[in-house]
Amino acid sequence: MKLFLTSSLVLLAFVALAQNVGIGTSNPTRLLSVNGTVLVDAGNMNTGAGDSASLRFGTNGMAAISSNKGVAGVNTNGLDFWTNNNRRMIINTSGFVGINNTEPSYRLDVGGAIHATSSIYTDASAIISGGASIAGITTIGGNTYLNSSAFVADYMGIGTNFSSTYRLNVNGNALIGTNLGVNGTIRVDGAANLNSTLTVDGKLTSEGRAIMLSNTGTTLRSGFSSGAFTVSLNAGQVADVAFIVPTFAGNNNNVRVMVAQLVPGTGASNWGAVVFTPHSIDPSDAGYSNQSTVRIRMQNASSALANLGTNAVLHLFTVVTH
């Protein structure tokens, strides 16, 4: 009876003192306090599951941390993080982190969308290998900043969906503070306003039409045309030849036609004695399928025969008030 009572008192004292258990420490501050390394799965028994020789949290949450020790399988010898009994994140043996991705190829490889409520910074290039859509300047909790190079391997849309016709499709104003370099064709579907000098080192094509501004503030449209003819003039003789000019409409007084160049034809002689005078401009000449025409009066100002040759070509420059 005395021995039983003594054992009971010792057991009661142990229970009273054992609310916190310490391993390697005499002053445990939690139910289990360990001063040293804790080894989980010392027998390398984990088979790649969250409930196989792993560190589990709770009885129903199916949340765990494990390391697959099988010869084959997902993320062997890496570290797996589980929730709801599903592998959510891994760290492989190369130190790559995969979220919803069991085979990460980068330091952080995410299989899904990433959302940030603040800024995202990169000290190196930002590479986008798929489509990129930027609906505005507040896509990531504020403005989007790129302090380094950005490489887009496919198509990009800003303010609209991307277009497979253009690498960059912008719906809205685009401002370039310095130079714009274009190695291909520039297409303008609307108005183009130029507030400074336009320098063209090569060919400028405007599909046959160009808008110009004169020194009086009048907007002008200009165009080139040419026509072939065969004329031989005696001394003092005059001939009128019709030439087609770029189409125009309105008052003939708003049209100016100038002779730009004469290319003498075969057998030409004394052609420099001929004076060319444009007159009788017609916006819709019935004799020439209602096209716009001008008459060029050719007068031999010399006392000898002037032959312009066979198939001579006269180039004209026409300016119309727009």
Q: Is the pLDDT of residue 321 over 90?
A: no
Assigned token pair, 158? 């800003």
Phi-psi domain of 17 (left: phi exceeds 0; alpha: psi -120 through 50; beta: other): alpha
Q: What is the DSSP letter of 45?
A: -
Write down the pLDDT at residue 131. 58
Q: Does residue 34 have a pLDDT over 80?
A: yes
How far apart are alpha carbons 255 and 249 in whole angstroms? 9
Question: By mean pLDDT, which of 45-59, 203-217, 275-289 is the weakest?
Answer: 203-217
What average pLDDT score do residues 212-222 get?
Answer: 73
pLDDT at 147: 63
Answer whether residue 181 shows pLDDT above 50: yes
The pair phi, psi for residue 2, each rounded to 5°, is: -70, -40
Instruction: Return the higher-pLDDT residue of 157 and 75.
Output: 75
pLDDT of residue 258: 95
CA distance 36 to 233: 117
Q: What pLDDT score was predicted for residue 205? A: 64
Q: How confident is the model at residue 39 (pLDDT cuts 50, 70, 90)?
A: very high
More confident residue, 29 or 219: 29
Q: pLDDT-derived band of residue 322, with 50, 70 and 90 as boundaries?
A: low
| 61-66 contact pairs (CB < 8 A, 24+) | 66/41
Judged against a pLDDT cut of 90, whether residue 5 lies above it is answered with no
For residue 90, what pLDDT is reported?
96
Kindly list the distances between the CA atom of residue 208 and the CA atoms of 171, 270, 321, in Å, as whole numbers in the listed order.
28, 34, 16
Q: What is the pLDDT of residues 247-274, one digit of tens each?
A: 887 666 788 899 999 999 999 999 999 9
Task: Quote the pLDDT of residue 193.
Answer: 76
Per-residue pLDDT tens digits for 58-108: 888 789 999 999 878 899 999 999 999 999 999 999 999 999 999 999 999
- Burial of 68 per CB tally in 10 Å (0-12, 13-18, 19+): buried
Higher-pLDDT residue of 132, 83: 83
What are the tokens at 299? 């007068």
What's the chain's length in residues? 322
- Residue 217's alpha-carbon distances to 213, 221, 222, 242, in angstroms, are 6, 13, 15, 31
Which position has the higher pLDDT, 177 or 132? 177
Give me 205's structure tokens.
């094509």
* Amino acid, single-letter form, for residue 121: Y
Q: Exposed, middle or buried by CB within 10 Å (0-12, 13-18, 19+), for 80? A: buried
Per-residue pLDDT tens for 280-305? Answer: 999 899 999 999 999 999 999 999 99
Q: Provide the pLDDT for residue 219.
A: 72
Is the CB of residue 221 less than 8 Å from the CB of residue 210? yes
Mean pLDDT check: name the lowest of 82-86, 113-117, 186-190, 232-236.
186-190
CA of 147: how far to CAs of 125, 150, 259, 306, in Å? 9, 9, 56, 72
pLDDT at 158 (0 to 100): 85
Domains annotated on the chain, with CATH: 16-112 (no CATH), 115-175 (no CATH), 221-321 (2.60.40)
Q: For residue 293, which of 250, 228, 247 has the smallest C-alpha distance?
A: 247
Average pLDDT, the chain: 83
Q: What is residue 151's predicted lDDT score, i.e. its pLDDT?
A: 74
pLDDT of 133-149, one tens digit each?
A: 554 333 444 456 666 67
Q: What is the CA radius of gyration of the chain?
A: 44
In Å, how far are 18, 19, 28, 36, 123 from 31, measured between CA atoms? 9, 6, 7, 16, 45
Confidence at residue 180, expressed as pLDDT on a 0 to 100 scale? 81
- Percent of the chain exceeding pLDDT 90 equals 47
* Helix, strand and coil in the chain, % to nearest 5: 10, 35, 55
* DSSP-assigned beta bridge partners for residue 260: none
Among 125-129, 235-239, 263-267, where is mean pLDDT lowest?
125-129
